[in-house]
Amino acid sequence: MIAVACAKILIVEDDSAIRNLIMRFLGQKSYQVQGAADGKSALAIFEQFSPDLVILDVNLPDTLGYDLCEKMQSLTNVYILMLTSRTDLDDKRKGFLRGADDYITKPFDLEELTLRIQAILKRRRVVSSFEEKPLKFMNIIIDPISREVIIQGSTIALTSLEFDLLHCLAQEPGRVWSRAELIQKVWDYNYLGDHRVVDVHIGQIRKKIEANVDSPSIIQTIRGVGYKFIDVPLVV
């Protein structure tokens, strides 16, 4: 595992003052950093640099950050931190639906940005011998080493955050998790945004793993509380 402080970060921001400020600040924190001012150059750098995390502005001269986020997620499981001046929840929801791991709104504090980066990169931790074992159920296999989800022999494509959330739920079948508990466990810090972000990601996971999204058989909603994983584990 690459140390968090040595991680590679790509900053995609058309405002050169903001981009250079972030690059200088993160460089002082010992991160490896590169910057891009538009979507085209960002993709070129992305393919050569292979960043661990991308700080991505929503409004770029040649594309929307949402589209670039989706494109990058289709190439690798890179973490995406969206950077925007938009404060509307629907805009944030759109970013999460396209694969973003977190969202920070301009103007922002550089120390808060650092905390969010550290929290995202902590998901790259080495798993324990217990955690690394594939979770096998009647309808689904979840492998934390390959980070693959398999249903009836087919591999299901999940974003990094979607996988982490599903794996968290599946480790304790039948346990009811509140949204706040899932935020703390999966996001790994005191998330400052709306806890309904959990609902957005659960909805995306259900679309990919449930036979009937309107009547889910794997992730059950516990009204007024949160969610639980209810598939039946296999005896191995």
d(CA 227, CA 161): 16
pLDDT computed for residue 85 by the predictor: 77
Q: Indicate the burial class of 46 (C-beta count within 10 angstroms; 0-12, 13-18, 19 or more).
A: buried
- Does the pTM surpass 0.85? The reply is no
11: its two tokens: 């900053």
The residue type at 120: I
Mean pLDDT of 97-111: 84
Q: pLDDT confidence of 45, banded at 50, 70, 90?
A: very high
Give the per-residue pLDDT at 128.
46
Enumerate the β-bridge partners of residue 8. Answer: 32
Structure tokens at 28: 């002082």
| 138 φ/ψ angles, rounded to the nearest 5 degrees | -60, -40
Give the separation between CA 171 and CA 163, rounded to whole angstroms.
12
pLDDT-based confidence at residue 61 (cuts at 50, 70, 90) = very high
Q: Determine the average pLDDT of the residues in 219-236.
A: 84
- The Cα–Cα gap between 209 and 227 comes to 15
Which range, of 1-5, 22-26, 78-82, 192-196, averages the lowest pLDDT? 1-5
**Cβ–Cβ under 8 Å, residues 176 and 226:** yes
The pLDDT, as a whole number, for residue 36 is 97
Task: Compute the Cα dihedral for 40, 107, 185, 32 and give only its sign.
Answer: positive
What per-residue confidence (pLDDT) applies to 157? Answer: 85
Residue scoring higher pLDDT (119 or 14): 14
Kindly indicate the confidence band of residue 12, based on its pLDDT and cuts at 50, 70 and 90.
very high
Q: Is the pLDDT of residue 159 over 90?
A: no
Mean pLDDT over residues 80-88, rounded?
A: 79
Homologous superfamily (CATH) for 4-124: Response regulator (3.40.50.2300)
Q: What ranges do the domains of the chain cover?
A: 4-124, 135-229
Q: Rounded mean pLDDT of the chain?
A: 85
Residue 2 pLDDT level (bands cut at 50, 70, 90): very low
Which tens digits make up the pLDDT trace of 172-214?
A: 999 999 998 998 888 765 555 567 788 988 998 999 999 899 9
- What is the per-residue pLDDT for 103? 84
Eight-state DSSP code of residue 123: G
| Distance separating alpha carbons of residues 232 and 32, to the nearest angstrom | 44
Residue 33 gets the label, from left (phi > 0), alpha (psi -120 to 50) or beta, of beta
pLDDT of residue 210: 92
The token pair that represents 55 in the structure block: 């700080």
CB distance 136 to 127 below 8 Å: no
What are φ and ψ of residue 76, in 5° steps? -145, 175
What integer pLDDT is reported at residue 116 of this predicted model?
Answer: 87
Alpha helices in the chain (DSSP H): 16-28, 39-49, 65-75, 89-97, 110-121, 160-170, 179-182, 197-209
CATH number of 135-229: 1.10.10.10
